[in-house]
Amino acid sequence: MVSAAHRTLDCRDRLCPGPVVEVSKAMRTLGLNEVLEVLATDPGFVPDIQAFSKRTGHALLAVESLDDGFRALIRRGQ
């Protein structure tokens, strides 16, 4: 799994759509091709972040299940 992230966003213990709203805000602060690491616990986060990435053109590099939730890496697109 890709591990280099330019920024980490901790959305653990937040319910959807909160994490995706925060991801959307955070992506605007990144430069083109920079990577955001997102930590989340809501099971709805996985399908939501997949849909968000598809809709916005950002690349979902990886989604990993952790003992305490999920970790996603998203590269900023156009």
Catalytic residue among 12, 14, 16, 22: 16
In-domain check, residue 23? yes
pLDDT at 69 (0 to 100):
97
Q: Mind giving me the DSSP string for 34-66?
A: -EEEEEE--TTHHHHHHHHHHHHT-EEEEEEEE
Q: Is 18 helix (H, G, I), strand (E, B) or coil?
A: helix
Tell me which residue of 25, 22, 23, 68 sits closest to 43, measured CA to CA: 68
Number of domains in the chain: 1
In a domain, 2, yes or no: no
Q: What is the pLDDT of residue 1?
A: 52
Which pLDDT score is estimated for 76?
97
Counting as low any pLDDT under 70, the low residues of the chain are 1-3
Alpha-carbon dihedral angle through residues 51, 32, 12, 61, given to the nearest 10 degrees: 60
User: Does the active-site annotation cover 11?
Assistant: no
Q: Provide the pLDDT for residue 4.
A: 83
- Using a cut of 0.95, tell me whether the model's pTM lies above it: no
Q: What is the CATH number of the domain that holds 24?
A: 3.30.110.40
